[in-house]
Amino acid sequence: MFGKSSKNTSDLKVETEKKKLSKWKKGSFGCLGIILLFFVVGIMASGGESKTAYSIGFTPKQFQEQFNILSKETNLPIVMPDLKIDEGEVQNVTGHRFSDHLFLSCTINKKNGNIRYATLLYNEPDRSAMMSDSMEKRIAYNNDSQILNAVRVQFIYTISPELKDSDGMNAFNLFHELGGTSSREDLKKIDREVKRGDKIYYLYYSKSANAMAFGVRNEKDKSFEKH
């Protein structure tokens, strides 16, 4: 799970990154919890930087600014704050919590500060809540669903502006092609990739985060590891 290095070296890297990230419990990532901590630790301690620092074409600051520009254009009431970068032994990470069900995790090249791959970690809201007698549960479901759908569309259009359209169908079709519109029961079986331009979008179930992982990487970056 944590790369191809020897067991002792790998264990040492993991323990080092855990110590570095222990402050998340009191800092900006405190809401991620211990499960998502293991997902991010795996990213920071594994893999390696290739001679070519592949990226999706953004620094964290550029990604944040473009996301917020689109939010303003589409009247989406979600603003991404400045992204704090945490230093890893192999590569750096940053992230943001959109809601209790939705988190952004970005891996950053140490060489040039560009995002290597970006991943949205999410749990689909329980659709049975739609039929609940509890108005509170129905409202919570609608709110969670709206945030999740809006951020996924915004995520795609930020990274691939050439896909932007007026009705969101390009984003829907991409997500549908990945299998993201499958039933809740089938989502954990999904592990797919689709190409758009020079980028590969992926969707799979992350056991370390106990969540679906929807993200993007450069098509030439063959060293991508799933956690």
Q: Mean of the per-residue pLDDT values for the chain?
A: 79
What is the rounded average pLDDT of the residues 214-225? 89
What is the rounded average pLDDT of the residues 120-149? 80
pLDDT of 6 = 40
Residues 15, 2: Cα–Cα separation, whole Å: 11
Question: How sure is the predictor about 131, in pLDDT bands with cuts at 50, 70 and 90?
Answer: confident
3-state secondary structure at position 212: strand
Q: What string of DSSP letters covers 176-211?
A: HHHTTTS-HHHHTT-EEEEEETTEEEEEEEETTTTE
Domain ranges of the chain: 7-218
Report pLDDT digits (tens) over 31-78: 444 445 545 555 554 555 556 789 999 999 999 999 999 999 988 888
Predicted TM-score (pTM) of the model is: 0.78
Question: How sure is the predictor about 161, in pLDDT bands with cuts at 50, 70 and 90?
Answer: very high
